[in-house]
Amino acid sequence: MSRERIFSGMQPSGRFHLGNYMGALENWVKLQEEYECFFSIVDLHSLTSSFEDTSKLQENIYEMALDWLSAGLDPEKNVIFVQSKVKEHAELFLLLAMSTPLSWLERVPTYKDKLLQLGELGKDINTYGFLGYPVLMAADIMLYKATCVPVGEDQAAHLELTREIVRRFNHLYKKEVFPEPRAVYSQAKVLPGIDGRKMSKSYGNTIPFGAGSAEMKERIRMMVTDPQRIKKTDKGNPDVCTVYTFHKVFNRENSDEIADKCRAGEIGCVQCKNCLAEKMNCLLADIHLRREELKKKPAFIKEVLEYGAERAGKVASSNMEEIKRAMNVL
Ligand code: TYM
Average the pLDDT over 1-7 and give the result: 89
Q: Is the pLDDT of residue 1 over 70?
A: no
Helix (H), strand (E) at residue 295: helix 269-295
What is the rounded distance in angstroms from the CA atom of residue 179 to the CA atom of residue 162?
11
Mean pLDDT within 33-60: 94
Question: Cα of 274 to ligand 1 centre, how many Å?
Answer: 29
Rounded to whole angstroms, how far apart are CA atoms 193 and 250? Answer: 14
Chain segment 119-148, per-residue pLDDT in tens: 887 888 889 999 999 999 999 999 999 999
Give the C-alpha separation, 316 to 229, whole Å.
Answer: 56
Which one of the listed residues 189, 201, 261, 324 is annotated catalytic?
A: 201
Three-point CA angle 8, 296, 63, nearest 5°: 30
Res 279: pLDDT: 93
Q: What tens digit of pLDDT does each residue of 272-320 get?
A: 999 999 999 998 999 999 999 999 999 999 999 999 999 999 999 999 9
Active site residue 56: no
What are the start-end ranges of the E strands in the chain?
5-10, 36-41, 78-82, 148-150, 182-184
Helical packing angle, 298-327 and 57-71, nearest 10°: 100
Atom of ligand 1 nearest to the CA of 158: 23
One of 85, 123, 145, 198 is an active-site residue; which one?
A: 198
Question: Rounded to 5 degrees, what are φ and ψ at 207?
Answer: -115, 115
**What mean pLDDT is predicted for residues 200-207?**
88
Using a 6 Å cutoff on CB, does residue 243 contact ligand 1? no
Told to judge if 261 belongs to the known catalytic residues of this protein, a careful annotator would answer no
Query: How much is the pLDDT for 177?
Result: 97
Q: How many residues does the chain have?
A: 330
Indicate the Cα dihedral angle 216, 221, 223, 228, nearest 10°.
160
Average model confidence (pLDDT) across the chain: 93
Do the beta carbons of residue 242 and residue 257 sit within 8 Å?
Answer: no
Ligand 1 centroid – CA 270 distance (Å) = 32
- Is any atom of ligand 1 closer than 6 Å to the C-beta of 50? no
Tell me the pairing of strands 5-10 and 36-41.
parallel
Ligand 1 lined by 140 (C-beta under 6 Å) = yes
Strand partners, 40: 9, 81
State the pTM of this model: 0.93
9 lines ligand 1 (CB under 6 A): yes
Nearest CA to ligand 1 atom 16: 19
Please compute the mean of the pLDDT values over residues 94-103 and round it to a whole number: 97
Q: How many angstroms is it from 261 CA to the middle of ligand 1?
A: 35
Contacts of 108 (CB under 8 A, 6+ apart): 134, 157, 158, 161
Q: Could you give the maximum distance between any two Cα atoms of the chain, in Å?
A: 74
Query: Pairing between strand 148-150 and 182-184?
Result: parallel
Q: How are beta strands 78-82 and 36-41 bridged, if at all? A: parallel
Q: Which domains does the chain have, with CATH numbers?
A: 5-190+298-327 (3.40.50.620), 211-286 (1.10.240.10)
Q: Is the CB of 60 under 6 A from ligand 1?
A: no
For residue 296, the SS3 value is coil
Q: Which of 6, 42, 82 to mutate to test the pocket of ligand 1 (most atoms within 8 A of CB)?
A: 42
In which band, very low, low, confident or very high, does the pLDDT at 52 lie, cut at 50, 70 and 90? confident
| Selection from 64, 112, 125, 6 nearest residue 305 by Cα | 64
Given the CA of residue 151, which atom of ligand 1 is nearest to it?
Answer: 22
Backbone angles phi, psi at 235, to 5 degrees: -80, 130
Mutate to test the pocket of ligand 1, among 92, 151, 165, 248 (most ligand atoms within 8 A of CB): 151
71-96 burial: b if 16+ Cβ within 10 Å, else e: bebebeebbbbbbbbbebbebbbebb
Task: Give the number of other Cβ atoms within 10 Å of residue 283's Cβ.
Answer: 11
Taking CA atoms only, the protein residue closest to ligand 1 atom 9 is 20
Using the predicted structure, report yes or no on whether residue 189 has a pLDDT greater than 80: yes
Instruction: Provide mean pLDDT across the span 48-54.
Output: 89
Q: Among this protein's residues, is 198 annotated catalytic? A: yes
pLDDT-above-90 percentage for the chain: 81
Q: Is 48 in the pocket of ligand 1 (CB under 6 A)?
A: no
